[in-house]
Structure 1
């Protein structure tokens, strides 16, 4: 009898790529991959531990999957990823239902861990972080067939004072340009039309291999993959943005006019405490240069409020910056105190209620900015990637513009007089707008 394996992937798209590689290895080893947790003989939870909420979700999911040992077919429960890397002994000691742990540096051992756990062994595969997936690894996509993430590097060297990523993912390691392009071409042959490049810091790509950042060369190479329609960049940092890179961003025909640029704050005093290496004046000049080079650019960023020592004046600097720049997309996060980080030991920890109040105030400001920007799009005709039919009777569809990354940004909702296939590209005339979504109709 072929054993069935189910996998639950938590956290960021980078973690999802790891999950897809594990699924590919599992399938190649002769197991059947199932989406039914109730029917699975082996369950794998690929965890996140970035902030407290993510850790709590991971623990909750582990206990939910453990119930299938009593209520379903589960014989083995394995926990992988960042939480396993960070807290291996605690998890084994405190959750006896776990049959094995695989850290971020040992993910290729997933099938061996399954075999050992089935034989009755309690598995602990947690060593140094830093495993780098390559295009040679099998991969089973968990995203829609027309869109996929492509991880171009592993680990991080930035050492932001609030972040545990270097601890759980190791130092920055880039894949070669040839390897990334080879995998991209293979995904395109499978029908992928949108490739989303991810890493902890995509701007740093190649510096460890080539002695200087090489994201520009990578983008120009990927632009020549014929079957691809869209390329999208996530997790670019404001450091290492050279004129050469900006020129490549502007000239790469398939690159969406969309840039995810996490800035984290806008007060220099806070940025220094965060160990961010670029000041707000330099950031402002970069944003102006990017918008000048790429007309119609959608800028997405994220900010942390309530960082240790953040004063009302520093918070107001952030609000003023948001008002001045008018980002198209913003995520606001309340600071999460992570053990083992320099920020956790800093004086002036901000009370939770103050952090949440500041988050809500910043999000309310951004909602007004987003509404103003979206209303300015009424009357425009835009390209949309069709994702699904929302209403069969009324032929209402939803999709994404080049300014919308999957799962984090808004949607384009539109009416069509004809049937459309997911993964197709259409032109939509925008008729109305909300702070996060656009509505319109198909241009025939």
Structure 2
């Protein structure tokens, strides 16, 4: 990545307010580099600014504060006089303030960090740690296991009464050989993704399910009753297909832990790794209740999220941006003011590594969007850039240090 491209990322981070005090000082120093102003010019010419945000004035005020800082005034004036005019620099500040404030903050990994080598940032043998990939196995009702990773694309497995199909895109689906057979109503399969795995499943009713790492889903191979039930442990994104029987809409039910979720046709993300159950609604409407508190019912509308803690036996509802909770199915990590332990939990599951804390920073908040398929060394280096934290990678264990 070129130096100009790296500066474009830094500028975006600054105006998204994701830089800590140390990073802000570095940001001010960048103003002495002509490549920095070139990066600013390119951001304007790319035409990606969109509408000005409501807090444009606040961002420009913050930028002026840094530019006028007594520690760097001489440097900034020198650059402004030799490359661009001071007025034009501040004009760019107002326009660049609009960048990336409409959606998720974009953080792309970059390689140049003030002449600091990778070995100074992260140590250890990285060859054994790779991003997750399409890995899963199906457990049939008779206990037989099918390794989907080793199953070739565009393959059909004949199981007598039904067929399991792996498409040319790697999606698993089912086809009944005798659709009217009543004995298929209670036939269940289970799909399991390991740590460092993911998969996409198409149920017999047309419902699409994306499974994240370390997830188990039990489901029927056909839906012939008055309701559709699946059981989840882990994290999955659902696009539920509508189904009608005798002019009556058939509800879709997801049981996870002590929570029961009922939908008629919707899109949502559901996460249950043991600490809490997090339901994020993208489209439609869902009804939630819990075995621990069956009298309480909670309805969610789009952009609402419910968190259920077994300890408190109650739901906590809030308004969120669903993109941060569904980006994983698009191959991205998306964080917004996320604590370091939450970030590392996600990294641990996806890269199948163990986390050891020698230091747990207070008030650490990481924001950004990065690819889930990048080298773990690059990902950890990006997190280091926005906080007073250092990682050491040894084998399959990451040490979090000060």
Higher relative contact order by CA 8 Å / sep ≥ 6: 1 or 2? 2
Radius of gyration: which is bigger? 2
TM over 0.5: no
What TM-score bracket applies, with the shorter chain setting the length?
Answer: under 0.3
More strand by share: 2
More helix by share: 1
